[in-house]
Structure 1
Amino acid sequence: MTTTYNYRQIISKAIADEMRVDQDVILIGEDIGAAGGAFKTTPGLFEEFGPNRVRDTPISEQAIVGAALGSAMTGLRPIADLMFADFAGVGFDQIANQIAKYRYMTNGQVTVPLVIRMANGAGSGFGAQHSQSAENWFLNIPGLKVVTPGTVADLYGLLRSSIRENNPVLFFEHKNLFAIKGDVEGLESEIVPLGVADVVRSGTDITVVANQMMRHRALEAADELEADGISLEVIDPRTIVPFDDDTVLQSLRRTSRLMIVQEGPRDGSWGASLVSRVVTENFELLDAPPVVLSSEDSPVPYAGNLEELWLTSVADIVAAARHQVRY
């Protein structure tokens, strides 16, 4: 039976469904128990699974990450809730130098099957220290998988897939998408494999690659541009490590134009990395210079009007697409 959930609600469903089928799955973090999570994403889990499998922690990201690492090394499948993605900076050493490298340094004798969940992104008025697109921080750390779901169904399917993964996964949930709704059946067919992009709209003129909130803005722009006879093909990468280059390249063979729409500054981002790979390895597919629409190179503003200016808008996408098709 198909049921409608919002992005916030589907998180606890995905976790509960995995905890029911695998007794080794545990959840740890601040206020995730009786309080149901700081963003109310874990209600009901403490009541169903009890304090041994749903454990509230002190206010210490280092303790949460360290406990997740230790429990994963000894046979459990922990899900660590870090609340704001920005707080990953506090546990960065353990994530970058321990979690990402442990399987490699033990020649595969020890696996680290853990998920670190984080609330990501701007648009909700949380200010510069609580609104960053932190997924880009981890692109230069081999050993981590990085997931950025943009819909209810993808969040559900990717989170279940991440919990089953035998390597560490950083799982980013966009705060500004908590209210969006979608249908999920809760069946095995709903599980989404890591590293597979989704062509969410077919088109012929420009390949647009956009994730999370920017996916939705790209689709709005595609609707507007259709009236002008400009056809956008919109691809959601869903997983930025590993990245599904093949789906993007297949699209470029039809459109010959590439546009990236992402949140956060351009330098060091997944969008800039994708453009680099396409230009150096498949330059012959392009009939126009690739475009990267990104945020200003500044901290995220707190004032709502400035924050919205900082983010790429639907109008920005429309204007860039109209310019690019002139080539």
Structure 2
Amino acid sequence: MADTDKSHGQPFPAKSDTYSQGLEAYPDKEESGGTMQVDHPGLLESQSHLQWPPRPIEQRFSALSVEESALDVRKPDVQFNPAQCLFCSHRSPGLDENMDHMLKKHSLVVPDPDRLAVDLETLIEYFHLVVHGYFECLFCGSQRRNIEAAQQHMIGKGHCKIDISSQASEYRDFYEFEPSIDDDITELADGNKSIRLPSGKVLSHRAEARTRVPRSAPVQEAATSSPCATTLSTLSQDTTPRSKRVAKRDAVFQTHLATLRDSDRRSLMHLPAAQQRAVVMRGKKQVEQARRDENEMLLKIQLKANRSIKK
């Protein structure tokens, strides 16, 4: 009589006496996975009939001749501790002591702390996500295979810092920059005899006092179709002319915000604008990293499959 698997209802072939004797001789051997492995020459007579239920897909990559080590499954330690140094294993009593350590030991300086739109701990938590979660350099953005390699790169290159001068910097979303005079003063015609201030007022030369220059209308952002997105978009609108750089950053933020589901946007409504930016940027980075990991895994699987076919 063949044995029956109660979970699947499939009959299994009867086990040989030699196999049963082997189980008695080796009681510590367990039946796990697909094929029973017993270190006894007399029990290797027939292992092909010992087929067990299908394994999960994670355990069946061997069908494509792919080793688990080749997949480089990343399991980053993203548990944030404000007292833990970002660049070494040193742990301080608190956040303030940790900032002093990173300043003295690694020369980490947070630029323009007075302009931060979030608290310092939130900014350091995002740094931790970049370094410990994605193994990326804070300064140049290059990615490594593990946290140790990322830390060695930043320490060796002197990249224990951030750059907010570039308009493409992801860290600018954690700051509130006011339009600068250099960005917003617009020189008008007539031989640079008139300028427009950030407030919208036009200053002209006395000889050109009679020349009237129409005042430009405030920048209006496009309204979104979703009521939740409309409510969130009003947080980044002003009634005065704004610099092109700030408007561009707000447009990028609104674009990322529009990609969220309505339920996610509703969950952000109670947060301040600065925290909304932090949450959206964190989610954007996680999506980008997931796409990179997926592409890398598919590429490695294809390369392994091609090698096995050539053999």
Fold-level similarity (TM above 0.5) = no
Higher helix share: 2
Higher strand share: 1
Larger Rg: 2
Structure scoring higher RCO (CA < 8 A, sep ≥ 6) equals 1
- Give the TM interval when normalised to the shorter protein: under 0.3
